[in-house]
Amino acid sequence: MKRIIVPVDFSKYAENAFLTALKIADKTNSSITCINVVGSTLDWDKLTEKKKNENQNIIDAVAEAKDKLKAFVMDHKLGGVPVETFVDVGFPYNVILDVAEKQKADLIVIGAYGKEHTKEKFLGSNLQKILRDADCPVLAVKNPMDGNALRKMAFASMFDEDSRPAFTRMKAVLKDFKTSVHFLYVNTPSDFTNSDDAQKKMDKYAKGFEDMVIHKHVYNHREAENGIVEFSENNKMGFIGIASTNRKGKNSYMVGVTDTVLFKSKLPVLSVKVG
Average pLDDT over the chain reads 90
Residues 60 and 164 in one domain: no
Q: At which of 98, 113, 141 does a domain end?
A: 141
- Domain count of the fold of the chain: 2
Q: What is the pTM of this model?
A: 0.92
Q: Does residue 123 sit in the same domain as residue 51?
A: yes
Residue 159 φ/ψ region, left for φ over 0, alpha for ψ in the -120 to 50 degree band, beta for the rest: left
Do 136 and 160 lie in one domain? The reply is no
The residue out of 141, 171, 203 marking a domain boundary is 141
Where residue 215 sits, what CATH number does that domain have?
3.40.50.620
Q: What is the pLDDT of residue 183?
A: 98
DSSP assignment of 105-134, as one string? -SEEEEEPP-TT--TTSHHHHHHHHHHHH-
Read off the pLDDT of residues 212-254 as tens digits, 9 standing for 90 and up: 999 999 999 999 999 999 999 999 999 999 998 876 655 678 7
In the listed set 109, 141, 173, which residue is the last one of a domain according to the structure? 141
**How much is the pLDDT for 123?**
47
**CA 24-141-116 angle, 5° bins:** 150
Residues 73 and 93 occupy one common structural domain: yes
pLDDT at 80: 87
- Domain limits for position 229: 147-273
**Same domain membership, residue 158 and residue 77:** no
